[in-house]
Amino acid sequence: MDSLIEQHKNSESRARLSTQRILYLRAQHGEQVDVEVVAETGSTNADLMARLELLQGPVLRIAEHQTAGRGRAGRVWHSVPGGVLTFSLAWYFPGTSQALLGLPLAIGVAIAECLLALGLPVSLKWPNDILKDKKKLAGVLIETAAARQGGSWAVIGVGLNLSVPDALETHIGHSVADAPWLAQMDRNQLVAQLLNSLAAAMEEFRQQGFAAFADRWNRLHAYAQQEVVILDRGQVVQQGLALGVDAQGCLLLQTAQGTLPVISGDVSLRAAATP
């Protein structure tokens, strides 16, 4: 793994991430967000979670390399410098954390719509994965905490695969998607466009909740009208036809017992095995 990291450090030819460049490229809602670029850190999510009481407004923290990135359910998010874009966005919401249940799906919509505008065909897997060619391209991890002044902070961690070498895919243990076209972009421009999309989505979510995103999510649903299983700690807990999501972000499954809502948590979705 060390040689893989060195290889990418030595071969990286794209522009390095720059705080000033990203700040300059922000637009509209993104202009209210402060930006921090660091060469390396354990986890951008952990960094921001540790500083929530000191934050005066929204902050985007992005690292050239994360050494302890995390995904849902405590999973490790593997990365190499230049090959995976990893960042976190801290955002304050006036409501309680209970009001943020649909936020991961709204984040997925914002990222997917940004990537689609850049010409990358993507779809969404409930609750919070962005897919390309039915393989994971990006993931989202959201952590929340009560704010001292009332309301809640959400720290939204995003990992986006740009260029995944074979050695990293082997290390992960399964195939993933990447986006060589995006890997050729100025990464500061890419980050700024993602920030603008996410900031606009945060304002929309604050005002209208997930209801404003439900139809958009369903249009991007990777498993629409397909038979799927819902797993909890590796065990199948539900199976049915994936109809889409409701205004709260619950997945609607058509089962023999009728239409059942599945609430997002540490459960995961898979295509059902074909007979």
Q: How many CB atoms lie within 10 A of CB 150?
A: 9
Element (H, E) at 9: helix 2-11
Which of 233, 269, 265 lies closest to 123, judged by CA? 269
270 is catalytic: yes
Q: What is the pLDDT of residue 91?
A: 97
Its pTM surpasses 0.85: yes
Q: What is the pLDDT of residue 44?
A: 95
Domains, the chain, ordered by start: 2-219 (3.30.930.10), 227-271 (2.30.30.100)
Beta-ladder partners of 231? 236, 268
51 is catalytic: no
How far the first Cα of the chain sits from its last, in Å, is 39
148 is catalytic: no
Q: Among the options 61, 70, 132, 136, which is catalytic? A: 136
Q: What is the pLDDT of residue 180?
A: 87
- 10-residue block means of pLDDT along the chain (275 residues)? 47 71 94 96 95 96 83 51 87 88 95 96 94 94 92 95 67 73 92 97 96 97 94 85 94 93 76 68
Q: Among the options 26, 70, 72, 132, which is catalytic? A: 72
Segments in 26-120 forming alpha helices (H)? 44-49, 103-117
The alpha carbon of residue 33 and the mean position of all alpha carbons in its chain are separated, in whole angstroms, by 18
- How far apart are alpha carbons 19 and 60 in whole angstroms? 10
* Phi, psi of 146, rounded to the nearest 5 degrees: -65, 140
| Beta carbons of 271 and 239 less than 8 angstroms apart | no
Q: Quote the DSSP letter at residue 243.
A: E
Question: Which amino acid does the sequence have at 202?
Answer: M
Q: Quote the DSSP letter at residue 234.
A: T
Q: What is the pLDDT of residue 9?
A: 46
* Phi, psi of 205, rounded to the nearest 5 degrees: -65, -40
Q: What is the pLDDT of residue 33?
A: 98
- How far apart are alpha carbons 22 and 190 in whole angstroms? 9
Question: Which amino acid does the sequence have at 88?
Answer: S
- How far apart are alpha carbons 114 and 120 in whole angstroms? 9
Q: Which phi-psi region, left, alpha or beta, contains residue 6 (left: φ > 0; alpha: ψ -120 to 50)?
A: alpha
Q: What is the pLDDT of residue 220?
A: 98
Q: Which phi-psi region, left, alpha or beta, contains residue 128 (left: φ > 0; alpha: ψ -120 to 50)?
A: alpha
Q: How many CB atoms lie within 10 A of CB 116?
A: 13
Tell me how far CA of residue 242 lies from CA of 8, 131, 133, in angstroms: 40, 16, 19
Which of 22, 15, 161, 179 lies closest to 86, judged by CA? 161
Q: What is the pLDDT of residue 172?
A: 54
